[in-house]
Structure 1
Amino acid sequence: MSLLSLPAHVHYYLYAGHADMRRTFEGLCDLVRNEMQADPLDHQVYIFINRRGTQVKLLLWEGDGFSIYHKRLEAGTFERPAATGNGQQVIISRTSLQLILQGVRLQSVSYRKRYERKPSS
């Protein structure tokens, strides 16, 4: 069971490298600024996974301060979606993040057709 509520109105950026889980607020903000070339104060969610894939941290600026969600697995690993291009980040959906946190293999997920409104010109 997870008590984490993931907002729908933000973007989710996964750091493509391996994060040192000893990093706290300032260390993660430095990774966002220097490696991901982004602003940690932009109300987006930044995701970090350690080398072994057993821990994940989420960093979010909430307007009046930072929040960190940290999960360590007792067994198994988190899936790390493959990075495309030379960037230091992978954009993932909120649903993909929820599946990663729950241990669902992303390649085996099959989505059923749904209505999607086309942008007006």
Structure 2
Amino acid sequence: MIGPGADARVLVATRPVDFRKGADSLAALVKAAYGADPFSGVVYVFRAKRADRIKLLWWDGTGLWLMAKRLERGSFRWPTIEDGVMRLTAAQFAALVEGLDWRRVHGGRRPIAPQLAG
């Protein structure tokens, strides 16, 4: 897959944005509304009013990526609409982009080291 790796930090803007905005406008929104640096390597996820479309904004160190996806059937699962952003894990981000319910993805269990006999 072309795009951010599994170790990328992901922030989701919970309030819908105008989907006519391009990369520069979304980068300005990240800076103005969230006080964040759009060129930090963090993946910013934006939603449209209709929950079937998302845009991803990501700086890879050489340029600003703007990726968009529209689901043909169904809709993306979104957090409650409120001001601010929320962080997703890499597994939750992968589920979100695939149109799955990212809230059902958890970090997994820590393996327990076996104890020595005796």
Evaluate the alpha carbon distance shift between residue 107 and residue 91 of structure 1 in structure 2; reply closer, same or farther with a 3 A threshold: closer
Provide the C-alpha distance between the structure 2 equivalents of 1:72 and 1:24, rounded to a whole number of angstroms.
16
Q: Is the 8 A contact 2:17 2:47 kept in 1?
A: yes
Q: Does 1:91 align with 2:87?
A: yes
Between the aligned residues of both structures, percent identity stands at 26
Decide which structure has the larger Cα Rg and report it.
Answer: 2
Q: Report how many residues are paired.
A: 112
Provide the C-alpha distance between the structure 2 equivalents of 1:50 and 1:64, rounded to a whole number of angstroms.
27
Q: Which of the residues 89, 93, 96 maps onto 1:100?
A: 96
Q: Is the 8 A contact 1:36 1:87 kept in 2?
A: no
Deviation at 1:6, TM superposition (A): 3.5
Q: Which amino acid aligns with 2:16?
A: H
Deviation at 1:103, TM superposition (A): 2.0
Q: Give the equivalent residue in structure 1 for 2:35.
A: 37
Q: Give the equivalent residue in structure 1 for 2:63.
A: 65
Q: Which amino acid aligns with 2:69?
A: K
Q: Give the equivalent residue in structure 2 for 1:119.
A: none
Structure 2 gaps, min length 5:
113-118
Task: Name the TM-score, length of structure 2 as normaliser.
Answer: 0.81
Provide the C-alpha distance between the structure 2 equivalents of 1:64 and 1:101, rounded to a whole number of angstroms.
23
The 5-angstrom pairing of residues 1-121 of structure 1 reads 3-82=1-80, 88-109=84-105, 112-115=108-111
Evaluate the alpha carbon distance shift between residue 100 and residue 88 of structure 1 in structure 2; reply closer, same or farther with a 3 A threshold: same
Q: Give the equivalent residue in structure 1 for 2:115.
A: none
